[in-house]
Amino acid sequence: MKKIAKPVKNPYFAGSILGVVLFSAYALTHSGLGASGAISRIHVALTKLLWQSHVDVISTFAVMGAGDTNPLDHASVFLLIGTFAGGMISAWFNGRLKVEILKGPQISNVQRLIFALLGGLIMGYGARFARGCTSGQALSGGAVLSLGSWAFMFSVFTGGYAVAYFVRRLWAGSN
C-alpha cells in the first residue's frame, strides 16, 4: 500500500496540541515532558550490560544505574516509548512512514549520515551539559516560566544561527 504524504498541520494548530499535552503532563505527573533523560538512561543501560563497574564510578551514570538499579525503571523511559509510538502512529496516518534519508540535495547519503551522527553526538553532549533537551528544558521549563529555561532556549537558537552559515551546504536547496 502506497500512501501519499499528507501536508503537515498548521504549526499553530500543532503547537496548541503540544501545549495541551504539556499541560496534562504537568497536571498528571508534576513534571513536564522530556527526552534526553531517557536517552541517557538507554546509554547507561547499554553500558551496564558491558561494564557494570564503570557505571558505578562515573557520577552521572551511577545516579541512574549504580549496583542493582535498573536505569530503565523510570517514568521518563515510558514517556520516551510513548513518544516513539505517537510519532509512528501519526506518521502512519499521514503517509510519512517511509524508510528514507532526509538531506539537502547537495550532499550524499553517506555524508548526511556522518553529519547526523556528529550532530547527534554534539547534541547528546550539550543536552547533558544543559541538564535537559529542547523539550525538557526549553519547552517544559519555558511554560512554567523558569528563568534558566528561557536563557537556555535563547542560547540554543543563538548557537544554531551562529553556525548555520558555515554548514549551509548541508541544507542548501532543500526547502
Partner 1 sequence: MLPIDVIAVLGKFGGYAVFVLIGIGFGVSLELAGFGDSRRLAAQFYLKDMTVLKTMFTGIVVAALLIFLSAAFGILDFAQISVTQTFLWPGIIGGLIMGVGFIVGGYCPGTSLVSVASLKIDGLFFLIGTILGAGFFGESLPAFEDFWNSSFTDRYLVSDWLGWSIGATLFAVTLMALVMFYGAEKVEEFFRTKGTGKVWSWKITRRSYLYGAAALVFTASLVWLIGQPDPVRKWNLMENRYSAQLSSRDVFIHPLEYVKTYNEASIKLVTLDIRSENEFKNFHLTGSENVKPENFLDPKFVAPLSHLPSQGVVILIADNDSVSVQAWKYLKVQGVNNVYILENGLNDWNKLFEGKTISGKSFNVASPPSEVLGLFPKDVFTPKIKISNKKRSGGLCS
**Between residue 24 and residue 43, which ones bind partner 1 under the rule CB under 8 A?**
24-40, 42-43
- Residue 66 within binding range of partner 1, rule CB under 8 A: no
CA distance 141 to 128: 16
At its nearest, how many Å lie between partner 1 and the CB of residue 26?
6
Among 3, 8, 106, 108, binds partner 1 (CB under 8 A): 8
What Cα–Cα distance (Å) separates residue 82 from each residue in 52, 70, 90, 114, 137?
28, 19, 12, 28, 19
Output the nine-digit C-alpha cell for 97: 512512514
Asked whether 38 and 79 are in contact (CB, 8 A), the reply is: yes
Footprint of partner 1 on residues 103-132 (CB under 8 A)?
Answer: 103-104, 112-113, 115-132
Residue type, 51: W
- Cβ 161 to partner 1, closest distance in Å? 6
Locate 70 and state its grid cell. 535498573
Three cell numbers written together for 128: 547533558
Is 58 a residue that touches partner 1 (CB under 8 A)? yes
| Contact letters for partner 1, residues 145-164 (x by CB under 8 A) | xxxxxxxxxxxxxxxxxxxx
**Least distance CB 2 / partner 1 (angstroms):** 14
Among 1, 3, 15, 106, binds partner 1 (CB under 8 A): 15
Amino acid residing at 170: L
In angstroms, what is the C-alpha Rg of the chain? 19
138 near partner 1, rule: CB under 8 A: yes
Contact 34, 140 (CB under 8 A): yes
- Is 136 one of the binding residues for partner 1 (CB under 8 A)? yes
What residues numbered 69-108 form the site for partner 1, per CB under 8 A?
Answer: 75-76, 78-91, 94, 96-104
Q: Which of 2, 4, 7, 68 binds partner 1 (CB under 8 A)?
A: 7
H or E stretch covering 118: helix 109-129
